[in-house]
Structure formats: structure tokens, C-alpha cells
């Protein structure tokens, strides 16, 4: 790989982020408000995704439970699908499509928010997660990409989709990570005031 190729990758990343920001700023603010309202009303944040999106889910829950940019009280967040015993039991006895939905049915409540991460919008287990969350009257925030896939059509007026306007899997994941950091900053500022 040449320096020219590296420069081009950095340039593509910056351009994709700026383009996404222009489109997504209002929706990111609205998603932050949904999460803050949930937390202020005793709700918790349930988060899920597959593969690299599962890693993003864990980064998000860690930033809520532990800390983001400052010390502050822990916020209630759960990354779904992290308990290998639950995942393998559900996948073996039922179907891998149900691994998130069954956990939502057990752990989710009306004041909670489900955050899903996907670059394609098509995983069947995330489709079932949305259906389970709707049964519990939970809000859903979908960090999505490409054309939105099957997930876009399942969201209702109370849900929020943050769809990255890109077809590049790498750019979508990068921007999802940036959105996580934006949401954490919004939540911390609204709950604990601006950073001095």
C-alpha cells in the first residue's frame, strides 16, 4: 500500500463523515433526547448487533456504564448477545434468529430503548429484536447503512433511524462509532451538565 492510497482512505473517511453529519444531525439530536428521556424515567438501554456491529454495541454500553469523557454515575446499559451460554442455548434449541428477541422479552420494559447496529439492515435476528421491542412498547434507535434493508420498513413513528448514506461497510462502521461518541456526549451534557 502506498502513502497515496492511505491518504485517499483518510480523505474518503473524512468526506463520508461530513456528508453523514449534514444528513443526520437532527436525527442524532432526537435519538439523544429519546435516550435521555428513557434514563430520566428509570429506563435502560439495550444494545445489539452482529460481528463488527456487536463490537460497537459493546463500546456503547461500556461508555454508558463506565464513563465517556468524565467521571459520572453509571448509566444502565446492557449489550445483548454477550452471554455465550444464552446465545448457544437459544441458537441450538430455537434459532440464531431469536438470540436478541428472547433476551429483549426477558429484560425489556416499556421505558427502555433498544439500540441496534447494522451496516445492511437485513439480519433476521435484528428484525426479530425490533418485533420483540415493539411488543414491549420500547423505543428503537437503529444505526443503519446502505438502503436501510428490511429494518427500515419495521420502524414506526416512535422509532429513530440513523442511516449512514454510504455503501461502504468500513465507512458505515466508522460513522456509527462517531455517532456513539456524539450520543454519549449529548447524554452526559443533558444529564450532568457541560464539561468544565
Q: Are residues 57 and 115 in contact, defined by beta-carbon separation less than 8 angstroms?
A: yes
Phi-psi region of 121 (alpha: psi -120 to 50; beta: other; left: phi over 0): left
- Identify the pLDDT of residue 92: 87
Phi-psi region of 114 (alpha: psi -120 to 50; beta: other; left: phi over 0): beta
Q: What percent of the chain has pLDDT over 90?
A: 93
**How many C-alpha atoms does 14 have within 13 Å on its Cβ side?**
6
Q: Is residue 1 predicted with pLDDT exceeding 80?
A: no
| Interacting residues of 90 by C-beta distance below 8 A, sequence separation 6+ | 96, 98, 99, 102
**pLDDT, averaged across the chain:** 96
**How many C-alpha atoms does 196 have within 13 Å on its Cβ side?**
1
- Identify the pLDDT of residue 72: 95
pLDDT band, residue 94 (cuts 50/70/90): confident
CA distance 147 to 51: 19
Mean pLDDT, rounded, for 14-33? 97
Strand ordering across the sheet containing 113-117:
77-79, 45-49, 113-117, 139-144, 160-163
Q: Is residue 54 predicted with pLDDT exceeding 80?
A: yes
pLDDT band, residue 179 (cuts 50/70/90): very high
Assessment of whether the complete model's pTM goes beyond 0.75 = yes
Amino acid at each position: 500500500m502506498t502513502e497515496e492510497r492511505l491518504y485517499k482512505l483518510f480523505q474518503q473517511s473524512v468526506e463520508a463523515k461530513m456528508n453523514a453529519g449534514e444528513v443526520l444531525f437532527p436525527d442524532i439530536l432526537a435519538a439523544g433526547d429519546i435516550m435521555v428521556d428513557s434514563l430520566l424515567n428509570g429506563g435502560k438501554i439495550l444494545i445489539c448487533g452482529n460481528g463488527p456491529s456487536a463490537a460497537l454495541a459493546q463500546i456503547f454500553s461500556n461508555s454508558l456504564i463506565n464513563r465517556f469523557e468524565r467521571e459520572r454515575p453509571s448509566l444502565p446499559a446492557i449489550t445483548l448477545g454477550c452471554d455465550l451460554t444464552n446465545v448457544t442455548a437459544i441458537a441450538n434449541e430455537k434459532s440464531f434468529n431469536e438470540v436478541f428477541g428472547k433476551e429483549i422479552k426477558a429484560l425489556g420494559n416499556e421505558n427502555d430503548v433498544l439500540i441496534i447496529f447494522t451496516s445492511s439492515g437485513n439480519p433476521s435476528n435484528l428484525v426479530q429484536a425490533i418485533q420483540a421491542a415493539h411488543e414491549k412498547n420500547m423505543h428503537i434507535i437503529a444505526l443503519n447503512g446502505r438502503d436501510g434493508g428490511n429494518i427500515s420498513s419495521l420502524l414506526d413513528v416512535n422509532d429513530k433511524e440513523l442511516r449512514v448514506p454510504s455503501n461502504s461497510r468500513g465507512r458505515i462502521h466508522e460513522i456509527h462509532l462517531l455517532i456513539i461518541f456524539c450520543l454519549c456526549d449529548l447524554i452526559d451534557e443533558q444529564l450532568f451538565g457541560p464539561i468544565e
